[in-house]
């Protein structure tokens, strides 16, 4: 089977500096349950043990399935969101040590057919979520 080439999607790399060691940030983010504390864009996530995936109800979209990269020592925190229509949104996320702090970078891809206003709204939403994460994990006694 021959795979046809598709055009590259526009993307933005959104980042936040977290004043905590890489090991702490990576351990916190390696547990998908902790994403429910800050990643509002994913919706109300619940673990579906029967299918070994996370699901969430997203306003205007329906129930989505979320699969996270397994915990690893490299700061690779990607997740894949499968929408009700079967389309898949890949969310690359990287945590990188920077001295005693951590740089977290999320790549936001503009999805096909997305208008400018929605693209901007999604960017602002992710930025707010990243700042929420910084406050949560930057606290002296972060949860979990």
Nearest one of 95, 94, 35, 96 to 66, comparing CA atoms? 35
Rounded CA separation 119/125 (Å): 10
Rounded CA separation 78/144 (Å): 20
CA distances, 77 to each of 12, 71, 82, 120, 121 (Å): 17, 8, 17, 23, 23
Q: Which residue has the tokens 């020592």?
A: 73
**Helices and strands in the chain: count of H runs, count of E runs:** 3, 8
pLDDT of residue 91: 95
- Global pTM reads 0.86
DSSP state of 119: H
pLDDT of residue 1: 66
Mean pLDDT, each 10-residue run in order, the chain (144 residues): 79 96 96 92 80 81 90 96 92 97 96 93 95 86 50
pLDDT of residue 45: 81
Rounded CA separation 36/97 (Å): 23
The CATH code belonging to domain 11-138 is: 3.30.530.20
pLDDT of residue 11: 95
Structure tokens at 9: 């999607």
pLDDT of residue 133: 96
Q: Are strands 79-82 and 88-91 parallel, antiparallel or unpaired?
A: antiparallel
């Amino acid at each position: 089977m021959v795979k046809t080439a598709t055009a590259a999607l526009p993307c933005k790399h959104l980042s936040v500096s977290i004043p905590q060691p890489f090991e702490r940030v990576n351990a916190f983010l390696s547990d998908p349950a902790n994403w429910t504390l800050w990643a509002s864009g994913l919706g109300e996530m619940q673990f579906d043990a029967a299918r070994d995936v996370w699901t969430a109800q997203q306003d205007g979209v329906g129930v989505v399935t979320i699969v996270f990269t397994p915990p690893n020592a490299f700061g690779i925190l990607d997740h894949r969101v499968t929408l009700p229509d079967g389309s898949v949104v890949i969310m690359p996320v990287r945590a990188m040590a920077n001295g005693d702090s951590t740089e977290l970078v999320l790549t936001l891809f503009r999805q096909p057919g997305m208008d400018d206003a929605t693209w901007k709204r999604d960017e602002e939403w992710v930025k707010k979520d990243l700042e929420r994460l910084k406050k949560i994990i930057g606290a002296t006694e972060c949860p979990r």
